[in-house]
Structure 1
Amino acid sequence: MALEGNMQELLLKHKIVAILRGVEESYADDTARALIEGGIRLMEITMNTEGATGMIERWRTIFGTKAAIGAGTVTDIRLAEQAVAAGAQFLISPNLDEEVIAYGKERGVAVWPGVMTPTEIVKAWKAGAEAVKLFPMGTLGVGYLKEIRAPLDHIPIMATGGVDLHNIRDYFQAGACAVGMGGKLVNLDWASAGEFHKIAERAKSFTDAIRDL
């Protein structure tokens, strides 16, 4: 079944963004395929991964009807240009760069910038971001998310960092609309060993955990 909706709708519906950082070309496609098999519908390739733009372009062709493909660690306009040229459908960063938000808006590409403080969240929203990435959540904790969510409940927040199978529901109960997940979801040791069934099983355990939210 083909994906339907814009990027914000897909983010709010599917709730998990898989972060692929340092994935090697030799097993990248099989890793993505396993994540999709497990129910993941948004995949972010970080721009500091070797061959990132090639993977984005290839995955748009291979997996375009099954998952949205975006770029992560888009810290400046130069990287944004490279990612969009490769076909990225969304851009995610660890930082707030209003120039990147403006660039994405001009081209119809969703930008979910990294923020930490209430001031940064509101600044990103006013600049045109439809959602923000609260980072680093592993350090900030769900209590922080819950506190800032109260006055900023109109802004969709994706929480990134510290999410695992035991606490993922806590993130949503604290007010996250989605979560970004790296190593706890995408085990590159399994990928390099060719154990893609384990990646698919882990992905399914996470998508099952949030199905009724």
Structure 2
Amino acid sequence: MLLETLRAHGALAVVRAPRIDDPASLCRALAAGGIPVVEFTFTTPGVEAVIAEAVAAAPDALVGAGTVTDVRTATAAIEAGARFLVTPGLSEGAAAVAREAGVPILLGALSPTEVMRAVELGAAAVKVFPASLVGPGYLKDLRGPFPDIPFVPSGGLDAGNAAEWMRAGALAVTAGSSVVSAADIAGARWTDVAERARAFTTAASA
């Protein structure tokens, strides 16, 4: 379901903030703007409670956990109800937890060797990170030897370059602080979030 939803909408929201008091309203705003897949990261203190609340109160959103780096964070995320996991790099421990639980995982990779290892570990898709370091041309090159691997670039993407990444062969692109900022969350500016999400998805599909 994760890959199908990403393919249908072309975007994944990555939310980083020191505090998230109303994750359900945030998820609803993102979904209203065309991004129903939301990743809450372990850089937010107490993110397990945020994930649990979002899963319970925003059933139309596909809620997952990001910055998963080891067995502990993978287990905590799944126990909180996360429906997918995302890592910044290769974590065999997190991959093993995801496989055992039947939860899809996007493993972070950059080099061809890391991409192959991510697939060996059971990645549902490969997160190309940091995408800003290499650019869309690099993804196009990766697609040469790996035409069947779903890639999701992350890091430095915005409405100005999202379409270029999609044309290079991305399954979906990540919407970060350009769509959801910590200030938006603190100020409960849900209309602004929905509008920027809509602008991002429109640009990505251009």
**TM-score higher than 0.5:** yes
| Residue equivalent to 1:3 | none
Indicate which of 90, 110, 129 corresponds to 1:116: 110
Kindly report which structure 2 residues correspond to 1:1-213, keeping only aligned pairs within 5 A, or say none: 6-64=1-59, 66-211=60-205
Deviation at 1:193, TM superposition (A): 2.7
Letter of the aligned partner of 2:45 in structure 1?
E
Q: Which runs of 5+ in 1 are unaligned?
A: 1-5
Deviation at 1:23, TM superposition (A): 4.9
DSSP 3-state at the match of 2:133: helix
Large movers: runs of 4+ above 4 Å: none
Letter of the aligned partner of 1:134 in structure 2?
V
Q: Is the contact between residue 46 and residue 52 of structure 1 (CA under 8 Å) also seen in structure 2?
A: yes
Q: Which runs of 5+ in 2 are unaligned?
A: none
Deviations 1:124-166 (A, max 9, x none): 1122112110000111111111111111111100000121112
Between Structure 1 and Structure 2, how many residues are aligned? 206
Deviation at 1:175, TM superposition (A): 1.1
Going from structure 1 to structure 2, the CA distance change for 1:38 and 1:56 (only over 3 Å counts) comes to same
Going from structure 1 to structure 2, the CA distance change for 1:176 and 1:192 (only over 3 Å counts) comes to same
DSSP 3-state at the match of 2:63: strand
Give TM-score scaled by structure 2 length.
Answer: 0.94
Deviation at 1:27, TM superposition (A): 4.4
Identity of aligned residues (%): 38
Distance in 2, Cα, partners of 1:178 & 1:210: 9
Q: Is the contact between residue 190 and residue 199 of structure 1 (CA under 8 Å) also seen in structure 2?
A: yes
DSSP 3-state at the match of 1:113: strand
CA RMSD in angstroms, aligned pairs only: 1.5
Give TM-score scaled by structure 1 length.
Answer: 0.91
Deviation at 1:35, TM superposition (A): 1.2
- The farther-off stretch of 87-96 and 101-110 is 101-110
Deviation at 1:51, TM superposition (A): 1.9
Deviations 1:60-86 (A, max 9, x none): 11112x110000000001100000000
Q: Is the contact between residue 8 and residue 110 of structure 1 (CA under 8 Å) also seen in structure 2?
A: no
